[in-house]
């Protein structure tokens, strides 16, 4: 499992204000997560992506090392600000390799993507049918063998039809992936996140039982004028709200909306 956070704001936020500085930042969640449903630490890589003015494609910093050991990122994070940020720490699914190709956030063109969860026995079950369903373009963009990267490729195929409909593509991706997994009799945990720099969509979903934890915070003291979505609350602000299970949260500069999945 992974831990992830997304930021969509009015004011610019420093990368460190999400990843390193809060009381329960992603840095803390990398070695002391509170709500992991499997795994103990998130030491199998981390990544941060952000958008800069006049460039539709995000900048992404990824490593297959632990966040707490990366002194270079700790040095640059307080100096980089952005109005849209995705960040994650990774706990590799058993059976999948610890390598940079499996570290979120993934990016392609204007889009970034993260996945908190796993498909049961992915390489022996759903990997082949999910990859067989991809377009040639999406398939050729795959670099590794993870379930997360495969799900992102399926999402990209849907976004080709309507690039602005992040929520619709995320919802249809859930439908497609769960259809394949249900047919194979395997479980899937599918907390997904996608952004194009101007909007975000998050899902909290599992085919069996409750989905992994997910919270949201709007215009709060620590992040004024912004919307933050995170696997675990970054601080003790009482304004954090839990995203309901089997729901999709869509966020843009006009506000946020929830719909069932």
Which domains does the chain carry? 2-260 (3.60.20.10)
For 96-146, how does the pLDDT look when each residue is reduced to its tens digit (9 = 90+)? 666 787 899 999 999 999 999 999 999 999 999 999 999 999 999 999 889
Rounded to the nearest integer, the mean pLDDT of the chain is 94
Active site residue 259: no
Q: Band of the pLDDT at 39, cuts 50, 70, 90? A: confident
Token reading at 43: 């030491």
* Burial class of residue 143 (count of CB atoms within 10 Å of its CB; 0-12, 13-18, 19+): exposed
> Locate tokens 């997910």: which residue?
214
2, 181, 216, 259: the active-site residue: 2
**Are the C-beta atoms of residues 178 and 188 closer than 8 Å to each other?**
yes
Q: What integer pLDDT is reported at residue 95 of this predicted model? A: 67
- Say if strands 223-230 and 2-14 run parallel, antiparallel, or are unpaired: antiparallel
For 204-261, how does the pLDDT look when each residue is reduced to its tens digit (9 = 90+)? 999 998 999 999 999 998 999 999 999 999 999 999 999 999 999 999 988 999 999 9
- What average pLDDT does this structure show over 22-37? 93
Q: List, in sequence order, every beta strand (DSSP E) within 78-214.
A: 81-90, 106-108, 111-119, 188-195, 199-204
């Amino acid at each position: 499992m992974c831990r992830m956070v997304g930021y969509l704001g009015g004011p610019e936020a420093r990368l460190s204000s999400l990843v390193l500085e809060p009381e329960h930042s992603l840095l803390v969640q990398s070695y002391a997560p509170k709500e992991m449903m499997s795994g103990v630490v998130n030491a199998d890589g981390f990544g941060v992506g952000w958008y800069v003015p006049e460039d539709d494609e995000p900048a992404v910093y990824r490593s297959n090392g632990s966040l707490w050991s990366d002194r270079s990122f700790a040095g640059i994070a307080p100096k980089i600000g952005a109005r849209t940020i995705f960040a994650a720490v990774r706990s590799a699914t058993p059976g999948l390799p610890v390598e940079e190709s499996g570290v979120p956030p993934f990016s392609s063109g204007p889009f970034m993507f993260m996945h908190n969860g796993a498909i049961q026995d992915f390489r022996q079950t759903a990997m082949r049918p999910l990859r067989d369903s991809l377009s040639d373009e999406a398939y050729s963009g795959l670099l590794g063998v993870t379930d997360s990267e495969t799900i992102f490729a399926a999402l990209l195929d849907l976004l080709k039809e309507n690039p602005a409909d992040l929520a619709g593509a995320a919802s249809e991706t859930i439908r497609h992936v769960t259809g394949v997994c249900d047919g194979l009799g395997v479980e899937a945990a599918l907390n997904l996140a996608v952004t194009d720099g101007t909007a975000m969509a998050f899902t909290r979903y599992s085919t069996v039982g409750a989905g992994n934890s997910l919270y949201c915070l709007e215009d709060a003291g620590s992040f004024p004028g912004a919307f933050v979505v995170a696997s675990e609350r970054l601080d003790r602000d009482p304004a954090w709200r839990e995203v309901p299970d089997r729901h999709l949260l869509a966020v843009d500069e006009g506000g946020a909306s929830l719909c069932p999945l």
